[in-house]
Amino acid sequence: MEASFSLPKDRIRILLLEGIHESAAKHLAAQGYNQVTCVKTALEGEALSEALKGVHMVGIRSRTQLTAPVIEAADRLMAIGCFCIGTNQVDLNAARMAGIPVFNAPFSNTRSVAELVMGEIVMLLRRIPSRSEQCHAGGWDKSAVNAWEVRGKTLGIVGYGSIGSQLSVLAEAFGLRVIFYDTVDKLPHGNATAVDTLHDLLSQSDIVSLHVPQTEQTKDMIGEAEIRAMKPNSILLNNARGTVVDIDALAAALRDGHLMGAGVDVFPKEPKGAGESFVSPLQGLPNVILTPHIGGSTMEAQERIGVEVAKRFVEYSDVGSTLGAVNFPAVQLPERPRGTRFMHVHENRPGIMRQINEIFSSEDCNIVSQYLQTDGEVGYVVVETDASPDSELDTRLLNSLRELKGTMRARLIYQR
């Protein structure tokens, strides 16, 4: 039986900013979502607020900032998609308290980042950036001084998540010894070995590669003391977040020769677009690779990310699934051949589930399944009844759910 949705798919407006790969719009269209607007650039200020009016789902990358005022002003917004790994460009708590799940793509570009790191390791150990620059200028330095093979060196990975662990596998194939440090116990891949402290890792590693999220705990976690604790003539790579490394301290260590080189893809302050100049104290230093936040910017990764987050939009809109949301209780739901399904986001307080059940009981609606998860202050429940489609009954139930004290958001997902 074909489902009837509370809001027909062809009326759900979706806005995709920052040149999100066309795979996202294609997947959405294939699922019946045709009201998709694609914009190549990021938006901010009044332009962003204006663009979000009447929009039900918005997709962004790293430059668009969805602050609390922006989220509050978005009158129809029900889901946010970050078509990347990071979500620090969104006020996650403001979205959560507005009943809006935020989805991202934590796995689709891991291979791209890991491959970039391996390329940087080879290039920096062989001092290729400086040699290439000399050749472009007409020079010809064939010296092997301070140029090294990868095999036999020690790679220290800080943050052994999806990227760090995949990098670990690639690095071992190159003959690197791999050690890692993480604040959470992780199962090592291959012959990788965990160390007890960050200082242990820094003191043992020929190359240190950072793969941690942006949090208060990771801000400036690699400062002057940590850089000076690294082995002389070692290499630092940051393809994580720009706030993790003290850039001035890194520049000083490169200038005085304590470090052999560095590869940096993320910066504390990045241009908002191609027209804005990039400035960094690392510019002009020898054996330093600077890239414009392109760790995950491969065609394969962007295509995968487009589909991954678009799938999250569809699953949330069609069946109420919040699996993969970074700020929201995670509920995964199967589709059912018949029935009526409601969702309810509410303050997590005693008695509210009893009140929700009483609403359905008062209308003689039999609840055949119920999925509840709570996360701190917020509860999310999906209720399914075996009632036949009845628009008047559904309207009464929905209105009662919305009037319930503590309700943040309620929606009729579908009726079959």
Residue pair 46/24 in contact (Cβ under 8 Å)? The answer is: no
What is the arrangement of strands in the sheet containing 407-415, beginning at the earlier edge strand?
4-5, 407-415, 340-347, 378-385, 367-375
Does residue 293 have an active-site annotation? yes
Query: Which tokens hold the place of 56?
Result: 């039900």
Full DSSP string of 163-220:
HHHHHHHHHHHTT-EEEEE-SS--PPPTT-EE-SSHHHHHHH-SEEEE-----TTTTT
Query: Which tokens hold the place of 177?
Result: 């010894």
Full DSSP string of 340-367:
EEEEEEEE--TTHHHHHHHHHHHTTPPE
Amino acid, res. 111: R
User: Which residue in the list 126, 241, 341, 344 is annotated as catalytic?
Assistant: 241
CA distance 319 to 317: 6
Amino acid, res. 151: R
Q: How many CB atoms lie within 10 A of CB 396?
A: 14
CA distance 327 to 100: 9
Separation in Å, CA 31 to CA 21, 24, 342, 345, 367: 17, 11, 20, 25, 28
Amino acid, res. 311: K
Strands 367-375 and 378-385: antiparallel
Strands 207-210 and 288-290: unpaired
Sequence-distant (6+) residues with CB within 8 A of 186 are 160, 161, 165, 180, 194
Does residue 270 have an active-site annotation? yes
Residue pair 265/86 in contact (Cβ under 8 Å)? The answer is: no
Does residue 111 have an active-site annotation? no
User: Which residue in the list 126, 293, 341, 411 is annotated as catalytic?
Assistant: 293
Angle between helices 352-362 and 391-403 (to 10 degrees): 160
Burial of 48 (0-12, 13-18, 19+ CB in 10 A): buried
CA distance 42 to 40: 7
User: Which residue in the list 72, 224, 270, 303 is annotated as catalytic?
Assistant: 270
Provide the annotated active-site residues: 241, 270, 293
